[in-house]
Copies of this chain bind each other. A is one copy, B any other.
Amino acid sequence: MSDHSAITAGIRGLGVETASWAYANSGTRFKVFAQPGVPRDPFEKIDDAAVVHRLTGAAPTVALHIPWDKVDDYDRLAKHAEAQGVRIGAINSNVFQDDDYKLGSVCSPDPVVRRKATDHLLECIDIMDATGSDTLKLWFADGTNYPGQDSIRARQDRLAEALRETYARLGDGQRMLLEYKLFEPSFYTMDVPDWGTSYAHCLELGPRAQVVIDTGHHAPGTNIEFIVAFLLRAHKLGGFDFNSRFYADDDLMVGAADPFQLFRIMHEIVSVGAHTPQAGIAFMLDQCHNIEAKIPAIIRSVLNVQEMTAKALMLDNTALAAAQGSGDVLAANQIFMDAFYTDVRPMLASLREEDGRDPDPMAAYHRSGYAETIAAERAGGEQAGWGA
């Protein structure tokens, strides 16, 4: 058993980054079900994120999405966050919601479109400068729907060019994370479909380019913790977009579909100390709360990451290494499972109380009346969504 102080220090140090857009309305291509109290602007999104952090103590930063979170005065936005007790996290670029991007953004066959897309990436770095964010997160919807539609290879050339220009613009202490995704919204090829593609580009770019793993962006059967372990070993893991799925990119609450998988991922992280803030791994949520209430769903998600991290911290790594070294398959597996089956919730509740928080953040949220307050206060105006 790991010693208790290391466990509590690990838990207290863990910071999960929530996403501004997860507080806004989202849905499937079939329907967006609007919810009461949803924020109408980036400031209100930050207010909600601050509630999550106050209750959990584990969500100190909030990611922005540009242009969804465009404001006139980013300094004011950053100060608003600070005043609420949170900080601006990663800046997420968006080059998929303009009519020009029908055939791609930085990989489009049209050089005018590519220029426009790259300019947007550079603009995002301006916003990083203005908000103090140190992380640019790049996800490209680029790809093709039909065989023959475009040259796979030429698109890689265009991608590499845009990435190089963007990388060159990064300032001191800034980095860029390149996300990959198997499919959707493109259905034949995606231009960055898997970790290998992202890794190869990041390697070419340099040390400030890293891979980000969205847990919902893989083919069925992909062993995600293998990728985590591999990238950690290669010093190329930049962070996560956490969520969970049963089928494709379902964007459900992290840990809801396969909590054991989340535990295995956190084990790879914890076993090399990558859960500490010093390690620089960004633990971000990227989820869609289409049918469940958004703020409590995000609280639950933060708790899920925290609980699986706690279980991973409980793992007796010395005993595990001994069993592994001796080739005792069943003993090693049992030590591993014992940590997973340990109920860490009482310990986490105690920790919260020690830190002056309610031991049960979900219950505290429901008691707080916040949901009712925002439903009333935010009644007018236009609710934020993916397109706003």
Contacts and interface: CB of A to CB of B under 8 A. Distances in A.
Contact of A233 (B153, B223, B307, B341): B153
A97 interface: yes
B200 A221 contact: no
Number of copies: 4
A222 to B, nearest CB: 6
Interface in A327-371: 327, 329-330, 332-337, 340-343, 345, 362
A226 B153 CA distance: 8
A3 interface: no
A332 to B, nearest CB: 5
Interface string A8-36: 00000000000000000011111101100
Interface in A146-197: 146-154, 156-157, 182-185, 187-189, 193-197
Chain B CB within 10 Å — which of A30, A253, A335 has the most?
Answer: A30
Contact of A153 (B34, B101, B189, B229): B229
Chain B CB within 10 Å — which of A97, A149, A195, A233 has the most?
Answer: A149
Contacts of A63: none
Contacts of A341: 307, 343, 345
B103 A327 contact: yes
A94 to B, nearest CB: 9
A187 B102 CA distance: 27
A68 interface: no
A382 interface: no
5 contacts: A31-B97, A31-B185, A33-B102, A149-B332, A292-B329
